[in-house]
């Protein structure tokens, strides 16, 4: 053996590791500082949500959907509600549709703050994370005004939402959107987005081509950052998303090649501006008065049948495959989440990168562990 | 393109592989495919230029009580259409060919279905449990699954509650 011959080593990362975004384990095969392969080991947060669903009434499952992705719980509520409504043929009042869009887009903002904030924290930049969390605090306050909860909101109901917007909500929400668009984004970009160290850490790292992204079923921001312009809010609209005017940002290879970690970071910053645009339009179009929930028949049953409905959550396509046998409980609920498919590509793109880059790759894919394990 | 046209194309391209065709509640097409023809049907759906169902949206297993099934949700960006492909399997020792060759990203989905239903995917490169521990016994999403009283000498205290919950009084609105 020569003095500098290489030797492979197997390292364990997680399940309790500060940069694995939840309880998530990687088995790393390394050769010095280079990664040979990173194999994810998931399931630490498996709670059997799909089995629990079969034991509960259709409405009773709603609080559990919060726990699928607790960073953006309204989006998970919404996906389930839309799926059940389509299967049962329930109409949603106009006002509820607007409240749903507002809360879902607020949730997307809150989720993206955690998404890019935590990525920066993983890379060692603590200050921007605190800036992002400061904004999430306002989002928490707004959701508290709407439904009383700050994390697991359980706001959307089958056939509407749980509460009407209280007095003062509209003004506070508008002020928040103004603050984000005119103050926060430019301040944040000055602070970190054009920072040379950040660009060097993210640009040209963990490149996912459009073909790879489609092959590995990536969805949402991760797919769009690879240059594929596909957003379910535009391409397969649900609810009233067809009424709003907004852009779908795609990866352009701002500082490197298309589909690198920087593109995945930057697309979330751009989506913040687009969500603000949607919230502003929804607030101005929303009717002042009106019903916010359809009364459901008691006992509530869903006609027998099968359906697959997908919605755009902050982490990509959130799909519910529902099977009803005509009874009070679902017969089978399958939840397809964005993080699950993001996770499958890590083994593929982590080959041959530096160990420190793996943290950037995991962070830039914005993986949330409970969404993988369910 | 309307549904009848797509249904006609599907029938002509897939031929004998299609056992039946149905429409779901949101107007998506559902086709039931014979297990023997699954691999060739998947290849046609993905690669035929007139169809182009190249995106795998979702995969799941189902236990209908008297038989099992695997379901694949495909999307065609060129047609802007979704199709649900369903394959019925026998209840005892269900087995189906893996679609890893056609859709690389399906690997983890098939592992999850194997883990929770015990459906074997022949030809899968790494068919291990995904979510549950490797020493777990049984497949929880099967309808006849019996909850274990203990796991590694740890009592599963919620067992009575879980068994009673089937009669839960709703709705919690």
pLDDT tens profile B109-144? 999 999 999 899 998 888 889 898 888 888 988 888
pTM reported for the whole predicted model: 0.87
How many helices and strands (H and E) does chain B possess?
4, 9
Q: How confident is the model at residue B13 (pLDDT cuts 50, 70, 90)?
A: confident
Q: Which of residues 5-44 of B touch A (CB under 8 A)?
A: 24-26, 28, 30
B108 to chain A, any CB pair closer than 8 A? The answer is: yes
Interchain contact B146–A (C-beta under 8 A): no
pLDDT the model gives residue B54: 85
Domain locations in chain B as residue ranges: 3-167
pLDDT (average), residues A236-263: 89
Per-residue pLDDT averaged across B58-66, rounded?
90
Question: With 70 as the cut, is the pLDDT of residue A343 above it?
Answer: yes
Q: What is the mean pLDDT of residues A340-368?
A: 87
- Asked if A73 contacts A151 with a C-beta cutoff of 8 angstroms, the reply is yes
Q: What share of chain B is helix, strand, coil (3-state, %, to 5)?
A: 30, 30, 45
pLDDT at B172 over 90: no
Q: Nearest CA to A273 among A115, A112, A159, A117?
A: A112
pLDDT above 90: residue B44: no
| Structure-model confidence comparison of residues A333 and B164, the more confident one | A333
Residues of B in contact with A215 (CB under 8 A): 103-105
| pLDDT value, residue A18 | 67
Domains and CATH numbers, chain A: 8-364 (1.10.645.10)
Q: How many CB pairs lie under 8 A apart between chains A and B?
A: 117
**CA–CA dist A178, A170 (Å, integer):** 12
The token pair at B123 is 């030809």
- On chain A, the residues whose CB falls within 8 A of the CB of B172 are 57, 59-60, 62-63
Instruction: Give the minimum alpha-carbon distance from A110 to chain B in angstroms, rounded to a whole number.
Output: 26
d(CA A9, CA B116): 33
pLDDT at residue B171 is higher than 50? no
CATH of B3-167 among 3.30.460.80, 3.50.50.60, 3.30.70.260, 2.20.25.10: 3.30.460.80
Place of tokens 């409970």: A370
Has residue A235 got a pLDDT over 90? no
**Main-chain phi, psi angles of A74, to 5 degrees:** -65, -40
> What average pLDDT does this structure show over A51-63?
89
Residues A105-120 have a mean pLDDT of 91
Q: For residue A289, what are the CA distances in angstroms to A2, A147, A164, A175? A: 80, 18, 9, 22
pLDDT > 90 in chain A, percent: 36
Which of A330, A328, A311 lies closest to A51 in space, CA to CA? A330
Percent of chain A scoring above 70 in pLDDT: 97
Asked whether the beta carbons of residue A344 and residue B108 sit closer than 8 angstroms, the reply is yes
Identify the band that residue B162 occupies on the pLDDT scale cut at 50, 70 and 90.
low
Put simply, whether B84 touches A (Cβ < 8 Å) is yes
Is pLDDT of B1 > 70?
no
Confidence of residue A104 (pLDDT cuts 50, 70, 90): very high
Output the pLDDT for position B102. 84
**Do β-strands B120-122 and B95-97 pair in parallel, antiparallel, or remain unpaired?**
parallel
With cut-offs at 50, 70 and 90, classify the pLDDT of residue A1: very low
pLDDT of residue A3: 63
- Give pLDDT, residue B35: 86
pLDDT confidence band for A19 (50 / 70 / 90): low
DSSP codes joined into one string, B57-104:
EEEEEEE-SS-EEEEEEEEETTTTEEEEEEEEE-SSS-EEE--TTT-G
Token pair 């793996």 is found at A358
- With 0-12 CB in 10 A as exposed, 13-18 as middle and 19+ as buried, what is A354? middle
For residue B67, pLDDT over 60 is answered with: yes
Question: Quick one: pLDDT band at residue B170, thresholds 50, 70, 90?
Answer: very low
User: Between B9 and A93, whose confidence is greater?
Assistant: A93
Query: Mean per-residue pLDDT for A42-53?
Result: 88
Q: Measure A46 CA to nearest chain B CA, in Å.
A: 6
- Would you state the pLDDT for residue A273? 92
Structure tokens at A264: 């995945």
Whether A27 and chain B come into contact, CB under 8 Å, resolves to: no
Q: How confident is the model at residue B164 (pLDDT cuts 50, 70, 90)?
A: low
Among candidates B104, B63, B167, B44, which has minimal Cα distance to A214?
B104
> In sequence order, what are the beta bridge partners of B96?
B121
**Contact (CB, 8 A) for B19 and B80:** no
Quote the pLDDT of residue A267.
92
Between residues B167 and A344, the one the model is more confident about: A344
Q: To the nearest whole percent, how much of chain B has pLDDT over 90? A: 17
Residue B62 to residue A323, Cβ atoms within 8 A: yes
Cα first-last separation, chain B: 40
Please tell me the predicted confidence (pLDDT) of residue A38: 87
Asked if A59 and B77 come within 8 Å (Cβ–Cβ), the reply is: no
Q: Is the preceding peptide bond at A290 cis, omega within 30 degrees of 0?
A: no
Q: Which residues contact B89 (CB under 8 A, 6 or more apart)?
A: B35, B67, B68, B69, B70, B95, B96, B119
Neighbours of B49 (CB within 10 A): 6
List the Cα angle B123/B127/B130 in 5-degree steps.
150
Tell me chain B's radius of gyration from C-alpha atoms: 19
User: Is residue B58 scored above 80 in pLDDT?
Assistant: yes
Environment class of A208 (CB within 10 Å of its CB; exposed 0-12, middle 13-18, buried 19+): buried
Mean pLDDT, rounded, for B148-173: 62
How far apart CA B63 and CA A143 sit, in angstroms, is 39
Q: Is A78 on the interface with B (CB under 8 A)?
A: no
Distance separating alpha carbons of residues A96 and A162, to the nearest angstrom: 9
**Which residue in A has a C-alpha nearest to residue B101's C-alpha?**
A215
Among chain B residues, the shortest Cα distance to A331 is held by B64
Cβ <8 Å between B103 and A217: yes
Count H helices and E strands in chain A, helices first. Answer: 16, 8
Across the range A119-148, mean pLDDT stands at 90
> Is pLDDT of A81 > 90?
yes
Q: Above 60 in pLDDT, residue A222?
A: yes
Nearest CA among A131, A132, A143, A141 for reference residue A104 = A143
First to last CA, chain A: 48
Is 70 exceeded by the pLDDT of residue A224?
yes
* A window 136-165, beta carbon within 8 A of B: 157
Mean pLDDT for A272-291 is 90
Partners of B22 in the β-ladder: B30
Task: Say yes or no to pLDDT of A156 above 50.
Answer: yes
């Amino acid at each position: 053996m020569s003095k500098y011959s290489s030797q492979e080593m197997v390292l364990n990362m997680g399940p309790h590791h500060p940069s694995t975004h939840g309880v998530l384990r990687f088995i790393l095969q390394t050769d010095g500082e280079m990664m040979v392969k990173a194999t994810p080991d998931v399931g630490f947060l498996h709670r059997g949500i799909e089995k629990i669903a079969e034991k509960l009434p259709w409405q009773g499952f709603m609080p559990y959907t919060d726990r699928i992705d607790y960073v953006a719980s309204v989006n998970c509520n919404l996906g389930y509600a839309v799926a059940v409504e389509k299967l049962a043929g329930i109409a949603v009042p106009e006002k509820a549709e607007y409240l749903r869009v507002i809360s879902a887009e607020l949730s997307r903002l809150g989720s993206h703050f955690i998404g890019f904030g935590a990525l920066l924290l993983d890379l060692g930049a603590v200050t921007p994370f605190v800036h992002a969390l400061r904004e999430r605090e306002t989002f928490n306050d707004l959701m508290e005004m709407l439904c009383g909860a700050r994390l697991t909101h359980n706001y959307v109901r089958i056939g509407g939402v749980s509460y009407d917007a209280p007095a003062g909500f509209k003004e506070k929400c508008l002020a928040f959107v103004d603050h984000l668009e005119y103050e926060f984004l430019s301040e944040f970009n000055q602070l970190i987005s054009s920072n040379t160290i950040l660009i060097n850490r993210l640009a040209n790292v963990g490149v996912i081509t459009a073909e790879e992204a489609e092959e590995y079923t990536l969805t949402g921001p991760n797919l769009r950052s690879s240059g594929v312009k596909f957003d379910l809010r535009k391409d397969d609209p649900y609810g009233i998303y067809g009424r709003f005017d907004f852009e779908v940002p795609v990866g352009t290879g701002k500082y490197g090649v298309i589909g690198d970690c920087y593109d995945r970071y930057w697309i979330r910053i751009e989506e913040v501006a687009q969500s603000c645009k949607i919230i502003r339009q929804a607030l101005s179009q929303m009717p002042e008065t009106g019903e916010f929930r359809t009364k459901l028949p008691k006992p509530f049953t869903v006609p027998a049948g099968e359906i697959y409905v997908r919605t755009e959550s902050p982490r990509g396509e959130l799909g519910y495959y529902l099977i009803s046998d005509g009874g009070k409980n679902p017969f089978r609920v399958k939840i397809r989440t964005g993080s699950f498919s993001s996770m499958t590509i890590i083994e593929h793109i982590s080959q041959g990168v530096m160990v420190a880059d793996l943290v950037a790759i995991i962070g830039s894919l914005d993986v949330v562990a409970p969404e993988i394990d369910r | 393109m309307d549904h009848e046209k797509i249904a006609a194309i599907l029938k002509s391209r897939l031929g004998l592989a299609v056992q039946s065709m149905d429409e779901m509640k949101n107007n998506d097409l559902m086709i039931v495919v014979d297990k023997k023809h699954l691999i060739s049907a998947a290849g046609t759906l993905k690669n035929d230029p007139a169809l182009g169902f190249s995106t795998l949206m979702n995969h799941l297993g189902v236990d209908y009580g008297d038989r099992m099934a695997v379901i694949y949700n495909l999307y065609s960006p060129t047609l802007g259409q979704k199709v649900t492909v369903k394959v019925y399997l026998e209840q005892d020792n269900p087995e189906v060919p893996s679609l890893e060759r056609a859709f690389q990203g399906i690997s983890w989905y098939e592992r999850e279905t194997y883990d929770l239903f015990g459906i074997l995917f022949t030809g899968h490169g790494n068919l291990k449990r995904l979510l549950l521990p490797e020493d777990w016994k049984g497949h929880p999403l099967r309808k006849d699954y019996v909850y274990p009283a203990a796991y590694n000498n740890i009592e599963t205290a919620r067992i009575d509650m879980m068994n009673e919950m089937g009669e839960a009084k709703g709705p919690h609105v």
